[in-house]
Each structure stands twice: as structure tokens, then as C-alpha cells.
Amino acid sequence: MTEPIHTTDIQSDVRYETIARFPDYAEAQAVVDQLSDREFDVSTIKIVGEGLRSEEFVTGRMTKGRAALAGLGSGAWFGLFIGILFGLFAPGFGLLSIILWSVVIGAIWGAIFGFVAHLATGGKRDFKSLKTMAAETYLVQVQASRANEAMSVLGR
């Protein structure tokens, strides 16, 4: 628990007061959940991340074959969507046939585009990764007019 920090919301002239500070989001979320369970008006609360940083987790090597396989998968899904869409508006041609051909054509074109797109990078990014945003600290803030009430509900 820290001493109150006052901030003003960018969207309006509402002032917020920090009632708690945590090193991870789950703890901040648990405090809001506690307040909600005790029927406190949670629409007056916000969780603010401070010290934002980008994290990129490398999950594997990207080869031309894997790029083509990923393109095949996304192309097949797109083909399924297009096949269903066309199938709904072309009732005389056989819905299943239209969907099947759309999936096959979508998968083929997806694989080609995936392969060519990876080839165009020239080997400059031969890995797959997952990017996330993380904060060093999470603040639980309550509208200043309700901060004392929130503190008493939490028993602080």
C-alpha cells in the first residue's frame, strides 16, 4: 500500500486516487474482484499499468516450408468462409461442392502466398515469435470521491 497518488482522467475531469500498487496484474485484478464481490461500484475503478515494455518471446524457427504451411492453414479458413458465403447465394450448385473447392483453392493460394512472403524477407526474420506488452507496476485507482469508501470496503 502506498500513499495516495492523484491523477486526472484524460477523457474527463474526473480525478482518480491510487488505493493499491502491485507487481503483477493478477493481484490488481483480485482487488477489483474483491470490491465487486462486496457490491462496490466497480465502474469507478481503473487498473493502470506503469513502466510499459514490449516483450517478444521467440517460439521457433521459420522456414519456407513452415511459412507455406501457415499460409495453407489460413488460406483454407478463408476459403471455407468464402465457400459458405457463395454456397448460401448459389443454391443450385451443391453447397458441399462449393465449400470443398473453396477450401482447396484457398489452401493452395494461401500456401503460395505464405511461401512467397517468407521468401521476400530475404532471411531477415527466420523465426516466429509472440509479442506482448507488460508493465512493471499495476495501480488500482478509484475515482477520488469514492476512494475512502473503497479503502474501507477493503478494510484498509
Residue-wise pLDDT for 85-125, tens only, equals: 988 887 777 888 889 999 999 999 999 999 999 999 887 88
Give residue-wise pLDDT tens across range 9-57.
555 678 999 999 999 999 999 999 999 999 999 999 999 999 999 999 9
Q: Give the pLDDT score at 1.
A: 44
State yes or no: pLDDT of 140 exceeds 70.
yes
Interatomic CA distance for residues 128 and 57, integer angstroms: 9
Reported for 66-71, long-range contacts at CB under 8 A and 24+ positions apart, including other chains, are 66/128, 67/114, 67/115, 67/117, 67/118, 68/111, 68/112, 68/114, 68/115, 68/118, 69/111, 69/114, 70/114, 71/110, 71/111, 71/112, 71/113, 71/114, 71/115, 71/117
| pLDDT-wise least confident of 56-70, 90-104, 142-156 | 90-104
Cα–Cα nearest to 105, from 75, 64, 85: 75
Q: Give the pLDDT score at 13.
A: 78
Mean pLDDT of 135-149: 94
State yes or no: pLDDT of 136 exceeds 50.
yes
Q: How confident is the model at residue 8 (pLDDT cuts 50, 70, 90)?
A: low
Q: Give the pLDDT score at 69.
A: 96
> Nearest 5°: phi and psi at 99?
-65, -45
What cell was used for 156? 484498509
